[in-house]
Amino acid sequence: MPLDTYRRMRDFARTSEPRGGRGRGGARLRFVVQKHAARRLHYDFRLELDGVLKSWAVPKGPSLNPGDKRLAVHVEDHPLEYRTFEGTIPEGQYGAGTVKIWDRGVWVPDGDPRQSYAKGRLRFTLQGRRLRGGFSLVRMGGGAAQERADNWLLIKTRDAAPARLGRRQRLR
């Protein structure tokens, strides 16, 4: 089951993270970016697909500069309920630290998102408060490199969307 790994990694008697179920999404696909002050500060980038949130940890956070290629480490699927989660994961628990929503909105895939995800080249448009315009998630390497970690790149597409975040919207 898609959420088995997520559930094995957590003690729901100790954490307020949602246990979740295999949810059913609405007509529009949603995304969320959460600022996660864990052992190392990073941003969790999550796209709704097939009743779960496909998830990547982005150490430097997303960028609106098409010249930036941000490492995005693919992690376990999360339940749809996680898109509204904010709080503190207690010490001793996986991902201990504070989670805050940094951005959220709707994502529109370019083509069939399941096929694109399986091929490791997902193109889409984000319609969020901070992140807008075209983006790509591209799986890196293959073979032995892929066995060590499922690394992807998050890349902003050159388009008419704003080229930079406003002063109040910078990564904080």
| Residue 7 covered by a domain | no
What's the pLDDT band for 160 if we cut at 50, 70, 90?
A: confident
Dump pLDDT digits (tens) for 5-27: 999 999 899 999 998 876 666 78
| Residue 32 covered by a domain | yes
| Residue 5 covered by a domain | no
Please report which helix (H) or strand (E) contains residue 115, including its range. helix 113-119
Judge residue 154's burial from the number of C-beta atoms within 10 Å of its C-beta, 0-12 exposed, 13-18 middle, 19 or more buried: buried
| Residue 72 covered by a domain | yes
The pLDDT of residue 140 is 94
Dump pLDDT digits (tens) for 45-92: 999 999 999 999 999 999 999 999 999 999 999 999 999 999 999 999
Beta strands 41-49 and 121-128, pairing class = unpaired
| Residue 8 covered by a domain | no
| Residue 16 covered by a domain | no
Distance of CA 70 to the CA centre of its chain: 12
Rounded-to-integer distance, Cα 148 and Cα 66, Å:
27
- Nearest one of 75, 86, 76, 74 to 18, comparing CA atoms: 86
Please report which helix (H) or strand (E) contains residue 5, including its range. helix 4-8
Over 50: is that where the pLDDT of 145 sits?
A: no
| Residue 34 covered by a domain | yes
The pLDDT of residue 141 is 80
Count of the separate structural domains present in the chain: 1
Name the residue range of residue 149's domain. 26-162
Q: What is the rounded average pLDDT for all residues in the chain?
A: 89
What are the tokens at 138? Answer: 């591209």
Beta strands 151-156 and 132-139, pairing class = antiparallel
| Residue 63 covered by a domain | yes
CB-based contacts of 144: which residues, under 8 Å, 6+ apart?
Answer: none
- Name the amino acid, one letter, at 62: P
Residue range 99-119: mean pLDDT, rounded:
97
What are the φ/ψ torsions at residue 7 (nearest 5 degrees)?
Answer: -70, -35
What's the pLDDT band for 44 if we cut at 50, 70, 90?
A: very high
Quick check: helix, strand or coil at residue 154? strand
What's the pLDDT band for 144 if we cut at 50, 70, 90?
A: very low
Distance of CA 9 to the CA centre of its chain: 18
Residue range 95-111: mean pLDDT, rounded:
97
Residue range 140-161: mean pLDDT, rounded:
76
Asked if residue 121 lies in contact with residue 138, where contact means CB atoms within 8 angstroms, the answer is: yes
